[in-house]
Amino acid sequence: MAVAPEQVIVHPLVLLSVVDHYQRAALGPGKRVVGILLGNWTGRTVHITNSYAVPFEENEADPTVWYLDHNYLENMSELYKKINAKERPVGWYHSGPKLRASDVKIHTTLREYCTSPVLCIIDAKCSGGMPVQAYHALQEDPSQPPTFAHVPSFLEADEPEAVGVEHLLRDLRGPSGSLTHAVSTKIKSLAELDAQLGDLDAYLQAVVEGRLPVRQEIVGGAQDMFNLLPDVHSRTSKMALTVKTNDQMAMVYVSALARAVIAVNDLIANKAQSTTPL
């Protein structure tokens, strides 16, 4: 019997594998890649820890025409089962960027290999925002084709995975230095936060206008978020922000002063060395 997952947790190795698959196999605009997701279920939470690519072709003009190599899929599943028996097929992925008409039939076909598959659309182009969108199929009427329902998805990494990703990112960083990277990361994070708050504002506005129903989990989450915000108007918060800012500015001032002193010392040493007779 199919079980609807409550959440999907994706590990970083999956994202790296999908991006590599997309860079190698997605030839031409509009092309997408398809693969199998491996992992396990913990209660109603799906942990996706690994993946592998599957040969896939489709006709862009006719969405009913597509090809998935079942023999390759079965052989790879057997090989991965020998490597790690805990990792079983839990669903499939494609590089999107959105759902397509053929996804329902592909999803139905993959139920032969796992009873409750999840579909993850992974943004291999890194266009910004959450790179993973997870779905599961709902079929209320057996005479009608199933429809996809969104499942909350999260990115998590175990300690060894976090260390490996940190080393990989350290190798990929440019020569501009860690400060530039930190600032650009902060800018991207703030932009994503602004986009998420915009989505929340649009939903609440639609609820007020009666265009969407009220969902208590969303309203409760928003209320918890507002309750956790600090009171920036209180004297204690203002004092804490002032002390923190002063400490940071003092560090910048001392660093600049030390750099200037070292530069002057080097200049004097070079001058003294150049005036010394041979």
The pLDDT value given to residue 172: 58
- Name the token pair of 64: 């009913």
Tens of pLDDT along the chain (278 residues) come to 567 889 999 998 899 899 889 988 877 777 899 999 999 999 889 999 999 999 998 887 887 889 999 899 989 988 988 888 888 999 999 998 888 888 999 998 898 888 889 999 998 877 767 889 999 998 777 778 888 988 999 988 888 888 877 777 666 555 545 667 778 878 888 888 888 889 899 999 999 999 988 888 888 988 998 888 888 788 888 888 899 999 989 999 999 999 999 999 988 888 888 776 55
- Name the token pair of 127: 């266009």
In angstroms, rounded to a whole number, what is the distance separating the alpha carbons of residues 195 and 190? 9
Q: What are phi and psi of 90, to 5 degrees?
A: -120, 0
- Name the token pair of 98: 């959105």
Residue 126: partners with Cβ closer than 8 Å, 6 or more residues away = 19
The pLDDT value given to residue 23: 87
241-272 CB burial, b ≥16 within 10 A, e <16: eeeeeeeeeeeeeeeeeeeeeeeeeeeeeeee
The pLDDT value given to residue 37: 94
Q: What is the pLDDT of residues 74-126, one digit of tens each?
A: 899 889 888 888 889 999 999 988 888 889 999 988 988 888 899 999 988 77
